[in-house]
Amino acid sequence: MLLGRKKYKELSDEVLMTYVQKGEKQAFDEIYNRYSSKLLYYLYRMLNRDEEKAQDILHDLFIKVVDRPELFDTSKKFSTWIYTIATNLCKNEYRSQNVRSIVTKVDDPEVFGGESERSSSSVDYAIFMQRLEEELSTLSEQHREVFMLRFQGDMSLKEISDVIGCPEGTVKSRLFYTLKKLSTNMSEFKELLKN
pLDDT band at 121 (very low <50, low <70, confident <90, very high): low
The pLDDT tens digits of the residues spanning 59-104 come to 999 998 988 999 999 889 999 999 999 988 888 777 655 433 322 3
The pLDDT tens digits of the residues spanning 167-194 come to 988 999 888 888 888 888 887 766 655 4
Give the integer Cα–Cα distance in Å for 176 and 17: 34
Collapsed DSSP state (helix, strand, coil) of residue 170: helix
Q: Is pLDDT at 32 greater than 90 in this prediction?
A: yes
Give the integer Cα–Cα distance in Å for 155 and 149: 6
* Measured torsion, CA atoms of residues 60, 163, 25, 73, in degrees rounded to the nearest 10: 130
Residue 5 confidence (pLDDT): 63
Given a contact cutoff of 8 angstroms between Cβ atoms, the answer to whether 76 and 100 are in contact is no
Phi, psi of 169 (to 5 degrees): -60, -40
Give the integer Cα–Cα distance in Å for 119 and 96: 41
Q: What is the mean pLDDT of residues 29-36?
A: 94
**Residue 171 to residues 77, 100, 150, 168, Cα–Cα distance (Å):** 19, 22, 10, 5
